[in-house]
Amino acid sequence: MSKIYGTMEKIPFVFGKSTDFVNFTDRDEEVSQLTDNFKSLINTTIISPRRWGKTSLVENAAHTIMAKNDKIKICLLDIFNVRSESEFYEHFAKEILKATASKWEEMATSAKKFLLLCLVCR
């Protein structure tokens, strides 16, 4: 037990990483607004101080939308450490493949198709 929390056996919040769906709480209005924006293809900027749950909010909204409609796929990118345009496209392609393929073979096939399209569009 922590002296700070007295008799509480477990701190009720997740710190330092995004929370999973089970630990996400009390943001129903924000999730609803964000899912509506996703469905309407509205670009959205979320601004708040560090560690206030922006990533968890987006991940929860994405999970909510994909659970309701299995045809919708949402690709989440963490581009904090991306330093060049080519790094961005490499990361982007990898995350798209992960979001749209459920098996390694499907991912390899999707990668081939994606790369062929990239070559054709040049």
CA distance 73 to 67: 10
> Does the pLDDT value for residue 18 go beyond 70?
no
Q: Is there a single domain that holds both residue 68 and residue 90? A: no
pLDDT at residue 106, as a whole number: 74
Averaged pLDDT for residues 95-99: 84
Look over the chain and give the mean of its residue pLDDT values, rounded to a whole number: 80
Number of domains in the chain: 2
- Give the pTM: 0.62
- Residue ending a domain, choose from 74, 96, 112: 74
- Residue ending a domain, choose from 74, 91, 112: 74
Instruction: Give the domain range for residue 60.
Output: 1-74
The answer to whether the beta carbons of residues 18 and 51 sit under 8 Å apart is no
The answer to whether the beta carbons of residues 31 and 37 sit under 8 Å apart is no
> pLDDT tens digits for 21-69?
555 667 788 889 999 998 899 999 999 898 788 888 888 888 889 899 8
Q: Is there a single domain that holds both residue 67 and residue 80? A: no
> pLDDT tens digits for 57-80?
888 888 889 899 888 888 888 888
Q: Is there a single domain that holds both residue 82 and residue 63? A: no
CA distance 64 to 21: 9
